[in-house]
Structure 1
Amino acid sequence: MAPKPKTIISPPKPPSSRPHLFKNRMGLGAYIAAPESYPASVVIYYNADFVVIHDKFPKATVHTLLLPRSPKHTLLHPFEALQDVEFLEKVKEEVGKLKVLVAAELQRRLGSFSRSDAAREAVLNGDAEPEEGQAKTAAEGQEKNDKGKEPQLPPGRDWMADLMCGVHAVPSMGNLHIHVLSRDMHSPAMKHRKHYNSFNTPFLVDVADFPLGEADPRRIPKDEGYMRRDLVCWRCGKNFGNRFKELKDHLDKEFEEWKRE
């Protein structure tokens, strides 16, 4: 992933009435308050309005969290915070930037396995020459840019289509956070049914769906019973009922096929 900027941005000082940043559900507040104190392996980047971190317990190959730094919104329920149209637009813009980074990281990790990326990987590895109009190296790309031409690698897999993005209807942490992660659900940290269904039912609400209508059923997740739904493979649609161990074994196989698409 891209390294965090060297420019240090002074973190906002939390109000004295705010709960201790490092306790219980308020753990994300530490990253919001002082992102510069964490290494790039934890904090991916930050600016005056947002901090982006790697999820401490990732549920997929790449799993990031976007943390808004706005004191007005950080302790609100996401459904309430994202009703603010001006704030929502800022979040959507930052989510768009983060999705580009996550897709690039997913491609970096898995591109060598993907049939769709085979031609691109061959050029990157020096095993094939770029076609006309394509740049083989960064130097060549800069040279072509200087000549007004657009450098390109062979078209490959649309890794952006393999991403999910959203907020949970019942957040597990007190500070507002938006999940941006790969679709695969392949991780040792995905340990039980609740983990899986929280990302594979309408319990995860896409940021693009906001602002939500007043009658949107996702506003009352308990009534909808998302966590009690059958476990259904995100890729092939096979229903595993409540048999999480079988689903987990199945997802390992699906991951091997998915990364080779």
Structure 2
Amino acid sequence: DTLLRRCYTNMLAAFFGEPATGACEEGARGPRLQEAPRALGARDEGGGAWSNGGSQAEPAALGMYHPPAAFPAVPHHSWQDALLLQVKDLAKHKDSIYFKDSRCIAIYDAYPKATVHLLVLPRDTSLLSLDCATPMHLDLMQHMSQVADRIVAHLKAAQFRKLSFKVGYHAIPSMRLLHLHVISEDFHASERLKHKKHWNSFTTDFFVPSSQVLATLEREGRVVMPAAKYKALEEQGLECPLCHAKFPTIPSMKKHYKLCYDKVRQ
């Protein structure tokens, strides 16, 4: 079995090319919690948040968006692995979980950059980043995207009718374990959005829509994010994504953006 597994791994590496870093190989040594593809409407053990009440999958009640007052502390030296730690110990982080099924979880972002900010994480802890994604992960990532879209539809109907949302990945993530952002676009409303990198990571092409990632993976068999291109986007000056006006500081940028956003959303 070990020999066959190594041969299969080498075959995939030869076909798809090596990942950008050794992170994928390191993650592959961790537990693989995803065992088999499942339809979105498949019944989750323990009663998941999705039910299959007929010929089509229908979402059960997801509840209100209500982040916890505090999050479990993460050792400073382990902050890049905070998402991995949550997936590996769901009981400890149960208050941080907005949704879960057998294939993924959605958690409240501990440092929300807008009124609503959730992260959809795979329960397969070997999928550390987009660099690690292969066609074998396509079904799982499609499921994650479907979950994100369902959450957006629910939150817009139940709580946040005046907000717009976006669903996507950071081209160069700061934390290990693939995470899909579900975020409202009222970036002016967050006290946690303090730096130029924060702003640019959500308002430029540094934020890659989930649909674009899935299309690339399906078409090309992998997702490559050129570091130089995306680091330049992260470091560029502050600009309003709605009218393209430029500003020197985050406070002035957010003050303008509130007016622009409210006008567009009227």
TM-score scaled to structure 1, two decimals?
A: 0.63
What amino acid is the match of 1:24? W
2:246 matched to which residue of 1? 239
CA distance 1:226–1:215, change in 2 (3 Å)? farther
1:81 matched to which residue of 2? 132
1:171-218 CA-to-partner distances (Å, cap 9, x unmatched) read 111222111112221311111111000111221222222336699984
1:250 to 239, 256, 260: 256
Q: Distance in 2 between matches of 1:98 and 1:256?
A: 24
CA distance 1:252–1:105, change in 2 (3 Å)? same
8 Å CA contact 1:65–1:180 kept in 2: the answer is: yes
What amino acid is the match of 2:100? Y
2:226 matched to which residue of 1? 219
2:80 to 25, 36, 54: 25
What amino acid is the match of 2:250? F
CA distance 1:248–1:105, change in 2 (3 Å)? same
Give the CA deviation at 1:257.
3.4
Aligned partner of residue 251 in structure 2, secondary structure = helix
Gaps of 5+ in 1: 10-20, 115-158
Aligned partner of residue 196 in structure 1, secondary structure = helix
1:229 matched to which residue of 2? 236
Larger Rg: 1
Give the CA deviation at 1:70.
1.0
8 Å CA contact 2:196–2:237 kept in 1: the answer is: no
CA distance 1:225–1:217, change in 2 (3 Å)? farther
Q: Distance in 2 between matches of 1:37 and 1:243?
A: 39
1:209 matched to which residue of 2? 212
Q: Distance in 2 between matches of 1:81 and 1:217?
A: 10
1:167 matched to which residue of 2? 169
Q: Matches of residues 183-194 of structure 1 in structure 2 within 5 Å?
A: 183-185=185-187, 186-194=189-197
8 Å CA contact 2:45–2:102 kept in 1: the answer is: no
What amino acid is the match of 1:189? R
Q: Which stretch of the first structure deviates more once superposed, 208-217 or 91-100?
A: 208-217
Q: Does 1:68 align with 2:84?
A: no
Q: Does 1:93 align with 2:96?
A: no
Q: Distance in 2 between matches of 1:67 and 1:167?
A: 11
1:179 matched to which residue of 2? 181
8 Å CA contact 2:206–2:230 kept in 1: the answer is: no
Aligned partner of residue 154 in structure 2, secondary structure = helix
Give the CA deviation at 1:221.
3.8
8 Å CA contact 2:111–2:192 kept in 1: the answer is: yes
Gaps of 5+ in 2: 1-43, 49-73
Give the CA deviation at 1:252.
2.8
1:13 matched to which residue of 2? none
1:123 matched to which residue of 2? none
Q: Matches of residues 82-161 of structure 1 in structure 2 within 5 Å?
A: 82=133, 84-111=134-161, 114=162
8 Å CA contact 2:239–2:246 kept in 1: the answer is: yes
8 Å CA contact 1:169–1:221 kept in 2: the answer is: no
1:56 matched to which residue of 2? 110
2:202 to 179, 199, 203: 199
CA distance 1:6–1:38, change in 2 (3 Å)? farther
What amino acid is the match of 2:82? G
Q: Distance in 1 between matches of 2:234 and 2:249?
A: 14
TM-score scaled to structure 2, two decimals?
A: 0.62
